[in-house]
């Protein structure tokens, strides 16, 4: 018994290779030693957000909620305290104006919040953010500039250097000395390397050679960097680095779904040829059809398939051998039941978004996904995120800027504060305060701040002492005391007291007679 041969060929689209052909060039190659190599490719980390559908939103949420509400000076003491001397208030007012001007002119091309926002975005993308500090002719910090983290490398710590720092002793600024080790930083763009020193390093650094040299000309003296990083290592590490594989997986799922809609289904049908072979011309035509199947212009094309039957020899009755062609049967069977419907990996993509948000500890509300929220749940999510994420971030950044800048600026009565969102509802506050006002437990000056929020402006406290007490007590103190006249008369002698009592008797008798009539 003869056995038939079965042969199958898959006709598929000639897709390009999925492997990158780019060559990664590290500009610092050959310079590592004093310069420390980063644990991850900083350029790749900077571009990862371009391949994610959620990472950029998370970084924008951090940038907006940390520095987006702006800087605001605040006093380091109770300005309205009774024991505060007037000269201290005048000094604080002067420092307040100086600090406002310092923040206003930190950058002439953009706001200080925008420059720091770029550095924070770099910190969340690569784990590292850098801000360049520029000093004026007096050696005081006067400006900041953004520095792109992907072109910067961290150097080894230098030898210890003795520096002077200002600390508070008994509430008064007191200079003291300490030993500290600083770092250098190297930036390379287009083959040119420039060195920077860490903020607070008193030594003079040559920006071309990276050497400390007191004889360096002024135009070659390096400026300073403030390094904002995630973690305590030499380089910061992105908080989402553990989800990198899942992030790229979500990207591949998106590409697969895109190709599905662009090029059609994978193996949408099987062409079976029975008792014959597909001709080479038909195979080439089928291959060309599959390569050109993408696009709406190919939505309604006809496909003609030609097949050739097998030639067999048979002996006729007269002894001659005739060639006989077997009948060919061509069938096209649909494989639609085995194919994906609309899109694959939707659940995988949703889980990927949730994982990346959890790395930033953000609810969906902060990434534009608020369809499942109402006022109560959204207020709760905002308050928890503010308490657990953004407020500590703002306080940490403000504390570091104050530690670095305030001693150099010789400001001790004021400091920088990063503003945050206002969750207070004036209507709710008025409802809560109503029983306290009725009970006389709140003074008018206590309500000035709330009234200012409703009116949209700042209201100063009234200086009179009467406005520091509840209204009921203030009004009671202004009413005349009926016994006050008697007490005064008693002090002036008995005759005046008797006369006063007689007058009161006459008044009472007159009232009584009037009622009887």
Higher pLDDT, 259 or 29: 29
Q: What is the rounded average pLDDT of the residues 266-282?
A: 68
Confidence of residue 384 (pLDDT cuts 50, 70, 90): very high
Q: What does the pLDDT average to over 309-331? A: 66
Per-residue model confidence (pLDDT) at position 517 = 54
**Is pLDDT above 50 for 131?**
yes
Confidence at residue 515, expressed as pLDDT on a 0 to 100 scale: 53
Mean pLDDT is lowest, of 67-71, 289-293, 337-341, for 337-341
Among candidate residues 423, 429, 427, 459, the one with its CA nearest the CA of residue 444: 459
Would the pLDDT of 111 be above 90?
yes
Q: What pLDDT sits at residue 426? A: 72
Supply the pLDDT for residue 296: 52
pLDDT of 372 > 90? The answer is no
Average pLDDT over residues 170-197: 91
Q: Are 128 and 235 in contact (CB under 8 A)?
A: yes
447-502 pLDDT per residue, tens: 777 777 777 777 778 777 777 777 665 555 555 555 555 555 555 555 566 676 77
Model confidence at 324: pLDDT above 90: no
Nearest to 418 by CA among 446, 448, 386, 453: 386
Taking residues 166-184, report their average pLDDT. 87
Q: What is the mean pLDDT of residues 165-173?
A: 80
Instruction: State residue 460's pLDDT score.
Output: 79
**b/e per residue, 275-294, with b = 16+ CB within 10 A?**
ebebeeebbeebeebbeebe
Q: Which comes out higher in pLDDT, residue 231 or 276?
A: 231
Give the model's pLDDT for residue 234: 95
Confidence of residue 317 (pLDDT cuts 50, 70, 90): low
| pLDDT one-digit tens code per residue, 276-308 | 666 777 777 777 776 666 655 555 555 566 666
Q: Is the pLDDT of residue 260 over 90?
A: no
Q: Residue range 180-185: average pLDDT?
A: 95
Q: Which residue has the higher pLDDT, 325 or 466?
A: 466
Parallel, antiparallel or unpaired: strands 224-229 and 269-274: unpaired
pLDDT at residue 16 is higher than 90: no
Q: What is the mean pLDDT of residues 388-398?
A: 95
Confidence of residue 199 (pLDDT cuts 50, 70, 90): very high
Strand intervals (E) in 364-498? 414-418
Mean pLDDT of the 120-125 span: 96
**Spatial distance between the Cα atoms of 315 and 495, rounded to a whole number of angstroms:** 166
Q: What angle (nearest 5°) sits at the alpha carbon of residue 418, between those of residues 380 and 124? A: 75
Q: Which residues contact 505 (CB under 8 A, 6 or more apart)?
A: none
Share of the chain above pLDDT 90, in %: 44
Residue range 66-93: mean pLDDT, rounded = 91
Mean pLDDT of 46-60: 92
Percent of the chain with pLDDT over 70: 76
Per-residue confidence (pLDDT) for residue 492, from 0 to 100: 52
Contacts of 426 (CB under 8 A, 6+ apart): 450, 453, 454
pLDDT at residue 168 in the model: 77
pLDDT at 19: 57
| Mean residue pLDDT across the chain | 81
Least confident of 4-13, 31-40, 165-174, 431-440: 4-13
| pLDDT-based confidence at residue 1 (cuts at 50, 70, 90) | very low
């Amino acid at each position: 018994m003869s056995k038939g041969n079965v042969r199958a060929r898959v006709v598929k689209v000639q897709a390009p290779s999925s492997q990158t052909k780019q060559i990664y060039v590290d500009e610092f190659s050959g310079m590592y030693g004093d310069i420390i190599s980063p644990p991850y490719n900083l350029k790749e980390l900077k571009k990862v957000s371009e391949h994610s559908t959620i990472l950029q939103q998370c970084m924008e949420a951090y940038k907006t909620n940390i520095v987006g509400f702006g800087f605001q000076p605040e006093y380091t003491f109770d300005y309205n305290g009774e024991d505060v001397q007037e000269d201290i208030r005048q000094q604080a007012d002067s420092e307040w104006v100086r600090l406002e001007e310092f923040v206003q002119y930190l950058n002439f091309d953009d706001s200080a919040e925008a420059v720091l926002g770029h550095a924070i975005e770099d910190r969340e993308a690569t784990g590292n953010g850098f801000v360049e500090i520029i000093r004026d002719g007096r050696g005081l910090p006067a400006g900041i500039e953004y520095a792109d983290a992907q072109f910067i490398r961290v150097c080894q710590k230098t030898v210890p250097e003795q520096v002077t720092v200002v600390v508070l002793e008994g509430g008064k600024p007191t200079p003291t000395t300490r030993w500290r080790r600083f770092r250098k930083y190297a930036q390379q763009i287009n083959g040119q390397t420039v060195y920077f020193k860490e903020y607070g390093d008193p030594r003079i650094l040559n920006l071309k050679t990276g050497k400390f040299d007191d004889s360096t000309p002024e135009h070659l003296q390096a400026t300073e960097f403030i390094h904002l990083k995630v973690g305590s290592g030499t380089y910061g590490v992105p908080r989402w680095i553990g989800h990198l594989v899942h992030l790229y997986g979500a990207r591949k799922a998106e590409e697969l779904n895109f190709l599905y809609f662009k090029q059609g289904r994978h193996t949408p049908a099987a062409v079976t040829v029975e008792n014959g072979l597909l001709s080479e011309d038909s195979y080439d035509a089928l291959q060309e059809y599959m390569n050109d199947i993408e696009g709406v212009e190919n939505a309604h094309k006809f496909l003609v398939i030609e097949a050739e039957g097998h030639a067999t020899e048979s002996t006729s009755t007269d002894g001659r051998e005739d060639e006989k062609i077997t009948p060919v049967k061509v069938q096209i069977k649909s494989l639609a039941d085995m194919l994906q419907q609309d899109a694959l990996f939707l659940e995988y993509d949703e889980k990927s978004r949730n994982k990346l948000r959890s790395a930033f500890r953000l609810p969906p509300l902060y990434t534009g996904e608020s369809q499942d929220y109402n006022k109560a749940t959204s207020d709760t999510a905002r308050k928890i995120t503010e308490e657990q994420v953004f407020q500590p971030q703002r306080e940490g950044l403000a504390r570091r800027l104050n530690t670095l800048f305030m001693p150099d600026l010789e400001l001790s009565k004021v400091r920088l504060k990063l503003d945050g969102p206002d969750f207070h509802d004036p209507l709710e506050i008025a409802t809560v305060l109503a029983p306290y006002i009725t009970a006389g437990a709140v003074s008018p000056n206590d309500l000035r701040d709330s009234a200012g929020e409703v009116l949209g402006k700042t209201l100063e406290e009234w200086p009179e002492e009467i406005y520091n007490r509840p209204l009921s007590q203030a009004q009671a103190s202004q009413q005349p005391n009926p016994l006050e006249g008697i007490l005064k008369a008693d002090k002036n002698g008995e005759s005046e007291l008797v006369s006063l009592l007689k007058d009161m008797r006459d008044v009472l008798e007159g009232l009584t007679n009037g009622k009887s009539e």
